[in-house]
Amino acid sequence: MENNRPVIFNNTVLRDGHQSLAATRLSTQQMLPVCGLLDEWGFGALETWGGATIDAGLRFLKEWPFDRLDAMEKACPKSKQMMLLRGQNIVAYAHLPDDVVEAFVRCSAKHGMDIFRIFDALNDPRNMRCAIESAKKVGAEAHGVICYTTSPVHSIEKFVKLGCELEEIGADAIVIKDMAGLIPPQKAYNLVKGLKQNVKVPVWIHTHETAGLGGATYYAAVEAGVDAIDCSVVPFANGTAQPDTIRMLSLLEDHPRCPKVTARQREILAEVRKHLEKVYGELSKFTSHINEVVDSDALNYQVPGGMLSNFRNQLKEYKMEDKFNEVFAEVPVVRKALGWIPLVTPTSQIVGNQAFFNVKMGRWKQLSKETLDVALGYYGTTPSPVDPDLQALAAKQANLEPITCRPVDSPAVKRKGMEDLRKELAAKGYPTDDEHCVIWAMFPQQVDEYFKAKNAPPPPPPPAATLSAAPEPAQSSGFAFAGKAHMRLSVNGHQHEVMVEEA
C-alpha cells in the first residue's frame, strides 16, 4: 500500500549528533536550555540516551546515567524518548545475561524511555530477541534494527528477510541503520520498498552524512514510503552526524510527504541552533573540522566516519601516518576473514584494531581478544563463515572451541547475573537497586570512580573574587541569561554546579 502520509522527523541532536561530532561530551546541563524547544517542535521522537552517552557521561562528565534520563523526561514531557541499545550488549561491549538485559530495559522504561532501538553488531536476531521481548513486556516500543553494510554476502533480499525475522520476534518497527552513511539513494529506495511490501510494521531509516549521500538517501527513502527519518540540528548535524532538519525540510519542499512546518517551528530550530553553536564552541577540544565535512574516504574504506578520524589520530600517535592507506586497505581483508561482519560498535573497533595489528606486526601475528571472540562465535553468527585457518589459529591461541549457540548461553561465557551484581555492590557499600546493578554490570570501574568523586571531601572554596562573573549581555534566544556566574557547591557530600543569575 502506498504511503501518502507526511514523513515523521525524529531528532538525534541530544544523542547521535554530539556523539558523532563532539565525542559524546554534551552534558545534561548543556542540553537543558533547548529541551523545551525541541519538545515544542513536535518531533516523532527525541533520541536522548543510549549508544555511547551512558559510558561517556559516567566516564568523562561524572553524570549518573539515570539522572540524565530523568532530566530529559521532565524537560521534554510531550515527546517520545528514544534510545539506541546494542542488543545483548545493552550499551557495553560484551554480552550480558538475560536478567541484566531485562532489568536494564525495565529500569529505563520506568525512568521515561519510550522507544528502544535494538541492534546487534552481526545482525544476529538471537542477540536482539531478549531486548525486544523485554521492551514489549514493559509496554515500550521495540524497534528492530538492520545494520546496513556492503559485502559479497549482503544483499537487499537478505536485509528484507532479516526485517521479516525481526517482525516475527515482535519488533514494533523496522529501522534501517546506515551507520557509515554508505547506502546510495537507489539502494535505500529498493530496501525500503522491499520492507514495506513484506512487513506490516512501520519502516524507519537512520543515516549519516559522512560521504555526502545522506540527504539524497532520505529523499529516496521518502519516495519509497519510509515512515520516519532521523535528523539533527547544526552544528551537531551533517558531516559524520545526521542531515540537518532545516536542510531536509528544504530538500523535501513541495514534496507531497513533506511535513507542514509553521513559522514558529522554524524559529525554534533557529533558537536551538543559536544555543548549540555556543555549546559547540565550549566543546572545541572534542570537535574536528575533518568530521564536519563530506569525506569520500568513507566510500573507499566503508567504515564509519568516527572510526576514520580516530584512526588518523591513533596512527599519528604511533608515528605511522604514512601507513594510513595500508591500514585501511587491510580492513576488508580482516572483514572477509571474520565472515564479512558489519562495521558498527563494537565490530568497527575490532576490525580496525586488527587491521592496525596486521600492518604493524604482520598479518595475524597478533590477534586481539575481541578478534578471537568473533572468530570463535562468541559475538554471534557471522554473515558468512569465518576463514577456517583463522578460526583454527584463534582456537589454539584462546584454548577454546568455536561455538554455534547464542553466545550468552555458552558455558564458556561467564557473566554475573543480577543477584551476583547486588552482592558486589553491597560489599562496597553502594546502592543495590536495579539501576545501580545494571550500570555496574557494564562499567564497574567507572562506577567506582563516580562514587569516589561523589564522596570526596569538597574542594576548598575559590577566592571570593572568582565567585562572580561579569554580566553577559541579554540574548534574544529565550535561553541565555542577562547575567550569570557558575559556582560548585557540596550538599551532603553531593557536588552541584549551580548558576547564579542577576535579578
- For 121-148, write each residue's pLDDT tens digit: 999 999 999 999 999 999 999 999 999 9
- % of the chain with per-residue pLDDT over 90: 79
Kindly tell me if the per-residue pLDDT of 280 is higher than 70.
yes
Which residues pair with residue 498 across a beta bridge? Answer: 487
Distance CA(266)–CA(269), nearest Å, equals 5
Structural domains of the chain ordered from first start: 9-286 (3.20.20.70), 296-409 (1.10.472.90), 418-455 (no CATH), 464-501 (no CATH)
pTM metric for this prediction: 0.88
- What Cα–Cα distance (Å) separates residue 306 from each residue in 82, 208, 210, 312, 349? 22, 11, 9, 10, 10
- Residue range 309-360, pLDDT digits in tens: 667 777 888 888 899 889 989 999 999 999 999 998 889 889 999 999 999 9
CA distance 290 to 234: 16
Q: Report whether pLDDT(2) > 50.
A: yes
Read off the pLDDT of residues 348-387 as tens digits, 9 standing for 90 and up. Answer: 889 999 999 999 999 999 999 999 999 999 999 999 999 9
Helix H or strand E segment including 74: helix 65-75
Residue 72 scores a pLDDT above 70: yes
What is d(CA 98, CA 408) in angstroms, rounded to the nearest whole number? 8
pLDDT computed for residue 46 by the predictor: 98
Q: How many CA atoms lie within 13 A of 147 on its CB side?
A: 29
